[in-house]
Amino acid sequence: MSRRVLDVGNCSADHASISSMIESRFDASVTQVHDADEAMQALADGQFDLVLINRLMDRSGASGLDIIKRIKSDANSASTPVMMITNYEEHQQLATEAGAVLGFGKQALNLPATITLLAEYLD
């Protein structure tokens, strides 16, 4: 059974890197959206095993933390694991305080620790 990942707010280049890494290491597909409304619609339309949210949305500059709060406050999506993608530890902390699981930074995308972290949700 293939896993599904929702990638929120990453630019095309970062989305390509994230998708390539995930799809080459796991039986998973990655769907890209760009903002909170698209994310909430995607979550309402289908089941995702993991949501990856960029710290700042690529198009609008909106806060990924606000999207995490919105997902976690919605009864239909609250139980879905969400990770923030950021290299900044203080933003990871804020994300986990808002209900996200520990995420990773783009600089760590291909590190064994990141693959192990993702395996908890995608294996």
Could you tell me the residue ranges of all domains in the chain? 3-122
* Strands in the chain per DSSP E: 3-8, 28-33, 50-54, 82-85, 101-104
CATH class of 3-122: alpha beta
What tokens were used for 41? Answer: 């619609």
State pLDDT tens for residues 26-84. Answer: 999 999 999 999 999 999 999 999 999 999 999 999 999 999 999 999 999 999 999 99
